[in-house]
Each structure stands twice: as C-alpha cells, then as structure tokens.
Structure 1
C-alpha cells in the first residue's frame, strides 16, 4: 500500500500528466462551470519591509479566490493530496483576476533568484496566489502642523481588467498584517486601517480595497536642531536715531516672510495673540517700552508676498549718562567760572583752577567714549 504524502509540489510539465491538456488552465477566460457568476477574491497583505514617503512598501500580496464549482480543478476524491503547490511558471496558464495597485508608481516582483510567486490549489478548487512584491506609491504631504504632523498615505487595490460583473474583491477578516523590521528615518507608523469601497468608471463599477497608513513624524530632531537654535540666535540690524540722546526711544523692526513662495502658494498671518514676549534679564542700556505687530503686502518682481512685521520700541536708561557724564561735565564748567571771581593778581591760583577744569573735562570725554555702546543686538 502506497504511503500518503502530506502535500505535493509539482513542476509545470507534470500538470499535463494529471489532467487533460489545455482543459483546466486557460488564461484567456475563466472556466464556465460555476453556480455564481463571479468568483470571490479575498486579499491579505503582509508588509515585511520598509515603508517610507515617496513611499515604498516591500510586502506580500495574497490573492485567494474560490472556483469551488469548477469541476476541472477539484480533486477532493484524492485523499492523499490535501493541496497542490505549483511552480511559478504555471501562473501564466491560470486565469487570474489581475489585481493591481491602482495608485502605484512602480511595482516589481522579487526575484531571488526566481520570481517569488506562490501558487497553491486546494482540493475544493480554491486557488491561493501569493506575490512578494515591492511597491512605490506617491503620498501627498500635509505640512500644516510640521514638525508635529501626521501623514496619511493610501494604497488602493482593484482588478485592472474586470468589473464587479466578473470579479468581486474583499478583505480577509484579518485585513492588513504588519511586521515592520527596523525604523523609518523620519517617521513612525502610528496606525493603519483598511476598507472596501466601490468606484464607478465609464466601463462599469469596480471593487476597490484601500489600505491607509498614518505616519507620525519624529519631531525631536527639528526641536533640538532647528527650532531651539532659531529662537536663540536671531540677530537683526536696528538703525539708531540719536537726536534726543540720552532720552531717546529707538524703533527696531523684524520682518517675516516666506523665502520661496508668494501668496499663490503660502499665506502668512499672525495668531490672535500676536507677539508673546518672555524676557528674562535686562538689556544693558535699554528697556522695552512697548511693541506692536502688523501684516502687510510687499511686491517683488516675482509677485506678491505676505510680510509680518514686529516692531519693538526701546527707551534708553539715561540715569548713567546724567550721573556719569552730564553732571560731572556741568560741575567742571561751573568750577572753571570760579576763576573769574579770583583777584587778577592771584595768577597761580587761576592757572591751577583752569588747568584742573580742562583736565577734568578731557577725562570726562575719554570716559564717555570708552563706555559708550556702539552696537545693539
């Protein structure tokens, strides 16, 4: 008595020895003996590689469709053969629903070294086809909340050749199963969903299966390397008006605009709160009197730009100048007048007082130049 084998893997040439030639596998049309008009195809995705934006998925796409009543491929009577695994070369001789990635840019089947296609037939006529493919699909990015944004990327599956009159698509109950190894360079997968929907083309109605992946940006790099240094290192020029020195008020302006895009691509505006200041410490020579903000438009040869202006008004702290410059200078001048009340015969005293006053004035001028701040940041 022959021993039963748990399963059997056959080559392409062996198929003709089991069934009648060109009866079971005709890829030009489906076999005609069916109780239901359309085969039900169930898809299951096993991504097992890297996903990124522009974004690329290395995954396994499984198609499992039932031709249960196709009398030519049912072998339930063979008890020793629980299933039949065929070579990838046989795939061209079997009718397939031609499921494709509807929104892909590039798709390729892995070859290591032969095409990674798995084909299995169950005794009841169910055919299981498994592809190991690499898919690259576009993903439109919404940068509104950058760098704390969550991007939504979608992959759509549909039959390229057959509408719902010939092929019906649906997900397995488990849907998308992920086994991601490693990490994405700039994102982490937050969650994923899958759904079935209908789409209407001029040729009829198609079933579409959508898998949606939500990627959350890892924003730690941007906070540490971009935002914090930006907040700490803004340096801008400010033209000083010294007319009322030292009781002057200086007006300094900072202007924000998009460097690359005009109002056709980017619109700028202030929040309702406008500028919020949290000044720690004091400026060496000024105090902030007030500040304002406004929005305006500016016209370059390339078009119109939005500009946001923040204006700061700094009042000079003039106490130092009164005590260290003006009062000593006036005092020296007043002292020099004493010489006019001295007797003209007291020539040594008048000379001493005049020279002392002149030296005091010279010393005050030198100190004022050394202590005067020329640049303000």
Structure 2
C-alpha cells in the first residue's frame, strides 16, 4: 500500500550525472550556434574531431583499465570535455590540434587520475593549455567574423584546410585569419596607440569584439538557464564575473586610454564560457558556499591580470588551472560550521 506524505521529510530522486552533463551541453548550444554563425564551419569541424577523440580515448582507456565502457561513456562527461575544448580552439586549427588536445584532456588530465570525480584539474583546460604552449602558431589561427572576412570558406574548403592544409587558389592563410580583439588591443597598445584609436576599427562592436559579444551573450543566456535549473550554483559565476568586472573598473577609472572597459572584458574572449561552463566544473571547483565565491573571484582577478600584463591575450584557462590548485586549501578554510558546534 502506498502512503502519501504531506509533510517533511521529502526525499528527492538521486542526481543523475548523465542528465546533468546533457543539460550543460544543451545550455552551451546558443553560444555554439553564435560561434558557428560568426566564425564559420571550423567551429563545428573542431567539435566533431574533439568528440570523436575524447569518446574514443575514454573507451580505449576504460577497456585497458577493465572498467565498464558503455556505462561510463553514457555519463556524457567525455562529450562535455570535447565540447568545452572545441569551443576554445581557433576555427582554422588543423585537424591534429583538437585530436592532441582531446587526448591530453581525457588520457592525462582525467583517466590518469582515476576518471570522473578524481581529476584535480579541469580536463578541457589542461588540453587547451598544452596546445597553447606547444603549438602557439596554430593556436592563433582565429577566423575573422564572416562579415569582415576577405574570403569566406565553404564547408568543403574548410575541411580541405583542416584535414589537408590546402586552400583555394590565390587564397593565403593571412586572408582567412585575424588576431582576436583581445590580442589586437594587447599588440597595438604596445605600439603606442590608445584604446580609442584601436577600438575605432571594424573588428570591434558596441561593447566587445565584433561577433565575440554575441557569442558571449549566447553563453550568458545558457548560463542563466543553468542557474534557473539549479544545475550550477550562483557563487562561482558571480565570483568570476565580479572579480573581472571590479579589476577592470578600477584600472579603467584610472586610465581609460590604456585599460579596456569592464563591459569589454565581460563580453570578449572566453569570459562567459569560463564563468558558467568551465569554472563551475563540479569535480575540480570549490564545493563550499564561501569557497565558491573565493574560487570564482580568484579566477576573475587572474583573468584580468593575465589579459592586462601577461604574455597571452586571454587568461581563462590559466586562471582556472591555477585556482584548481588552490581548491583543497580554500575548501579546508571555508567549511561551514556544523549545526550545534561552537565557534572556535
């Protein structure tokens, strides 16, 4: 006989890892579609190659470890790692870039530590940083927004470039690639130009880089949906975006001709992707309420420091990995007081 319970306690069903992973991937679709719309077929080609690599590598390692393959792949964590990695790669990267990044992410950063739940670092960011340090030239092959491109490559042309390294006749690599807005600002400030002069160019939009602001808006929309669904907690995104905003505001107030505005930093590069989809990784992120805020704020501050004075245009990956190292200490010192326990 079934009895209805009208008062507490109520027990909810167990959280399903696969359902959570699929929800995160679904939330990333608006940003993915914006990236494809503005930057072309290379975005989707990178995604397909990263998916094939990450899922294949996960299956191979699980088989070597004599672990259940089908059940583990069904949790969607390898597919999510592939998606996050692909979204950070230049659209005109050669085919072996997402393959090498996917292998490092799954084999080294995830399975070498024991698989999902044991990895101390975000796997997708490990793969990205390995690529950025090892292959700096290939990692700068960013496509201009298609409205600004001298040459627009079709799907077939993009596949030929990615797989074979061949371009249509009379088309050079310089004609299909362009520095990102963050890289442009860093380079041209070093040449003595002011931000007003730099941002007068066509590659800059109303508040961020042209095209990039829409991509970030897509990820902001997806991140808001994750918050509404309770898939992620608000502290980490608030910490990341708040830390980045405050740092940018302080220096922008001091010298607006040298330091970009807070809105530019929030809507350029991988700010929204990092805040809602990368930093919130439940395995490698902080788990206490206060710890999440400190962890997120640390990431936001480091992103700004690397962007403003570091050797790389964007700093999301490095900031996340550096704060991953600090997570055990943050969690240790921010544990909530147990009910009934006296404060020391």
Quickly name the TM-score band, shorter chain normalised: under 0.3
TM-score, normalised with respect to structure 1: 0.21
Looking at both structures, which has the greater relative contact order when contacts are Cα pairs under 8 Å and sequence separation is at least 6?
A: 2
TM-score, normalised with respect to structure 2: 0.22
The answer to which structure has the higher strand fraction is 1
The answer to which structure has the higher helix fraction is 2
